[in-house]
Amino acid sequence: MHGNSITRLLLVEDDPGAAALLRSMLKERRSPGTEFTHLGQMSAAEQYLAEHSVDVILLDLGLPDAQGLEAVRRARAAAPRTPLVVLTGLDDDSLAVQALQEGAQDYLIKGQIEPRGVLRALRYAVERKTIEEALFQEKQHAQVMLNCIGEAVVCTDISGNITFLNLVAKNMSGWSWHEAEGQPMAETLRIIDADSRETITNPMAIATPNRSVRLPANCILIRHDGVEIPIEDSGSSIYYRAGRAAGAVIVFHDVSAVRAMSLELTYSAQHDFLTGLPNRLLLNDRIHQAIALAPRHKKQVALLFLDLDGFKHINDSLGHPIGDKMLQSIARRLVNCVRASDTVSRQGGDEFVILLAEADQWEDIATTARRVLHAVAEVHSIDQYDLHVTTSIGVSVFPDDGLDAETLIRNADTAMYQAKENGRQSCQFFKPEMNARAVERQSIEEGLRCALERNEFVLHYQPKVNLRTGAITGAEALMRWTHPARGLLSPAQFIPIAEDCGLIVPIGHWALREACRQAQTWVDAGLPAATMAVNVSSLELQQEHFLPGLFAILDETGLDPRFLEIELTESVLMEHSESAASILQSLREKGVQVAVDDFGTGYSSLSYLRKFPVDALKIDQSFVSHISTAADNASIVTAVISMARSLKLRVIAEGVETLEDLSFLQTHQCDEGQGHYFGRAVPADQFAVLLERGLLETVAAEDLERRIAALERELAERDRRTARVDLENARLKKIVEDLENANRAVIHPNLNAQSTGREESILRIRQQE
């Protein structure tokens, strides 16, 4: 359900190490105001819950003072309306199922817990508890209504003939009083057993004085028109004062609604409330059944784990009602993609799992996956919108990729994330090495959570150069992570992970503050003013406090806003066009510059670009590379420069590597450039030297050093070829003589001076040899 947030979490766990691990997993994934409480015993938890309310309880089933189901029952008694997620061991599947039957919403298996799985389990537990509460309220309301309508009352004489029907009995039975009066009750109000279809004995026949007799459960009243009505009833004989039997009274009521509610509750416990698809509990049961039958039928069992690409943008921009309809549309399409024997399940959020219970071969699984990719990608017409999403699919197969439901789902989930990394809207079968990458990714994610506290991040600065004057115009701040075990890591090795787990927001805030502080430090040292460029991610831009935080950093560091340049990719601008335009306008009013990074790799158009108050375009390095030899790249770069000039924007070329790249850009009047030709990203102290000496002087000095080194290598090579000197001299002498003869014969008199210079050069070479 949308809108459910976890702000107060209680962990009941006696293992401090496990508690610390869970706290670390949840620390950065929770909202800033979330309260995390850890207690080691059930008694302490009961006392705490008596005085405090929490949003969800995470409960270990092996506590010192409460074991197994006892812990669940005590937790439910202490907080009956609070979502409960239990922690079990690897071999406690049956205990976990019993815990769910006792009222827990979900369970996690120790040793297989991942941050993503913890967050998902807690969120789904809150969703399921909300559904249970809503259904409970509906049931209570239905029961009150049933109590208000009254009971059916039928009276008979001593012979069993009907003497009276009240209004409720008339309506239920379909008999009027005049039709039923004097008729045998066994013929008029026929009551049968729903299972055996046999007539129930008249209660009066077995009733005794002062004691009512209840009819067997699961009884059905057959109306006058043949309609069957489930009922519950009781009967009692009527006696005169002298003890002589006078007749009987039978009281019964319609239990159709109660039984329907019971069936509905059973259905709701096993199905997703939004789409009606089987939920995780029912899916696991069907996976177990499929695994049990697979060897007998000589079939494979395949799981397809789906995560939607682009759904969050639709949900955030158009609202949850549209998002819900989108999920329902996708659910219908997925059901149409599979056979009746297969199962489509919604796990929660925008995640689905498809169980192919009897797969013949790998090609069949791949065919189904392709059909799903195509079905999801087709346009969804919802209200007045034509919406597009895609999906990434991970596949695991029994028995190759796992022997139980948990392993198969986990491995399919891992493969799905690999599909996303491969470019999305694709299918990826699980491979064992993916687990190794997942473990490595998890290790990096855990390290990132502590990196800021340990001051492990550092910024390096790459110069941006005016291509007309050669002067440094600014620096781009590029993050490096000094990992305690892996050494210095580039942004490509950890930034995507930081974005996936939400850590990019605090990391980006630190980078922005550090870059502004360093820029002001150079200004205070009297170095030439240079614009500081800082990359900002989509998640940072969406933060409510992004602008106030940025302006606070400028005030704190004292940096002139004109010397700060925010770099945003064009995809970020397109995905959040309305909010981005407002933010960019605020930055312009403050004096902060904005550059569109990696321009040309996204899907922006000229009409969209004109909406945004930006100052510069940065041509992606993939287009600058081999610009002098690749005609397509040259055309793109030329077009971007022309477009930028028409919009009065600066153009910055990334990835300038060679003199040929530089010459092309200068010829086409590109404003600025950065790349290894001018210098790699360096620490702050080394960049200060560049600012102090000037880039042209530094580049010239480095070029001279390279030429000297090359000359030394050439001389060393000549020393190793001393045995061939005579032969080379003779050949060179012959070449010189031929050149002299040719010059005298064909060179124009006006070029005599130039020819003489060439001859002198040749003679000097001969002398050196």
Q: Give the containing element (helix H, strand E) for 713.
A: helix 695-719
How many CB atoms neighbour CB 645 within 10 A? 13
Residue 102's pLDDT band, with cuts at 50, 70 and 90, is confident
Please answer whether residues 452 and 510 qualify as being in contact, where contact means their C-beta atoms are separated by less than 8 angstroms. Answer: yes
Q: Give the containing element (helix H, strand E) for 187.
A: helix 185-188
pLDDT for 420: 85
pLDDT for 324: 92
Residues 6+ apart with CB under 8 A from 173: 152, 165, 180, 188, 189, 221, 223, 224
| Phi-psi domain of 490 (left: phi exceeds 0; alpha: psi -120 through 50; beta: other) | beta
Average pLDDT, stretch 560-588? 86
Give the integer Cα–Cα distance in Å for 130 and 308: 24
Residue 492's pLDDT band, with cuts at 50, 70 and 90, is confident
* Lowest model confidence (mean pLDDT) among 217-226, 399-408, 449-458, 648-657: 217-226
Give the three-class secondary structure for 671: coil
pLDDT digits (tens, 9 = 90+) for 45-98: 999 999 988 888 989 988 999 988 999 999 989 988 888 988 887 677 788 888
pLDDT for 193: 80
Percent of the residues in the chain that have a pLDDT greater than 90, as a whole number = 26
Residue 518's pLDDT band, with cuts at 50, 70 and 90, is very high
pLDDT digits (tens, 9 = 90+) for 190-230: 888 877 888 776 655 555 555 566 667 778 888 888 888 88
Residues 6+ apart with CB under 8 A from 705: none
pLDDT digits (tens, 9 = 90+) for 352-364: 999 998 887 888 8
Task: Give the distance from CA 730 to its chain's centroid.
Answer: 75
Give the integer Cα–Cα distance in Å for 666 and 468: 7
Q: 475 is written with which tokens? A: 């620096």
pLDDT for 128: 81
pLDDT at residue 298 is higher than 50? yes
Residue keyed to tokens 């699980």? 430
pLDDT for 260: 74
pLDDT at residue 769 is higher than 60? no
Instruction: To the nearest 10°, report the CA torsion of 186, 190, 194, 200.
Output: -20
Q: What is the pTM of this model?
A: 0.47
User: Who has greater pLDDT, 36 or 736?
Assistant: 36
pLDDT at residue 32 is higher than 70? no
Which range, 147-161, 237-251, 364-378, has the best average confidence (pLDDT)? 364-378
pLDDT at residue 13 is higher than 80? yes
